Amino acid sequence: MESPQRGTNNHAGELLKGDYSKFAPGGPTWLNTRLVILCLGLLNAVLLIVAVVIGINCAKVKESSYQVSHSAATQLISELSDLRSNHSDMLEATEDAKAKLRSAFKNDAQLQVTTQQLTAANKDYRRQVETLRVEKTSLQTNVSVLGGTCGRCLSNWTFHNSSCYYFSCLKTPTAKKNWHESREDCISRGADLVVINNQKEQEYVTNGIRSYFGHSDWVKGSWIGLTDIVKERTWVWINNVTEVEKRYWKAGEPNNHGPGGEDCLCIIYASTNPWGTWVDAKCKEHKLSWICERPSD
Give domain status of residue 176, yes or no.
yes
Give domain status of residue 41, yes or no.
no
Which pLDDT tens digit goes with each residue over 121-177? Answer: 888 888 888 778 777 766 666 555 455 545 689 888 999 999 999 999 888 888 999
Q: Rank 11-20, 143-152, 210-219 by mean pLDDT and report only the highest.
A: 210-219
Number of domains in the chain: 1
Give domain status of residue 274, yes or no.
yes
Give domain status of residue 287, yes or no.
yes
Which pLDDT tens digit goes with each residue over 46-99? Answer: 777 877 777 777 677 666 655 656 677 788 888 777 777 787 788 888 888 888
Lowest mean pLDDT among 144-153, 248-257, 275-284: 144-153
Q: Residue 4: what pLDDT?
A: 44
Phi then psi dihedrals of residue 258, to 5 deg: 85, 170
Give domain status of residue 182, yes or no.
yes
Give domain status of residue 92, yes or no.
no
Q: Residue 238: what pLDDT?
A: 97
pLDDT at residue 105 is higher than 90: no
Give domain status of residue 54, yes or no.
no
Would you say 205 and 165 are in contact if contact means Cβ atoms under 8 Å apart? yes
Which of the four pLDDT bands, split at 50, 70 and 90, describes residue 12?
very low
pLDDT at residue 269 is higher than 70: yes
Domain that holds residue 291: 151-295
pTM of the model: 0.51
pLDDT at residue 14 is higher than 60: no
pLDDT at residue 30 is higher than 70: no
- With a pLDDT cut of 70, the percent of the chain lying above it is 76
Q: Among 167, 162, 268, 169, which residue's Cα sits nearest to residue 212?
A: 169
CATH number at residue 252: 3.10.100.10
Q: Residue 213: what pLDDT?
A: 62
- Distance between CA 33 and CA 13 in Å, rounded? 24
On average, the pLDDT of the chain sits at 80
Give domain status of residue 184, yes or no.
yes
On the question of a cis peptide bond just before residue 4, with omega within 30 degrees of 0, the verdict is no
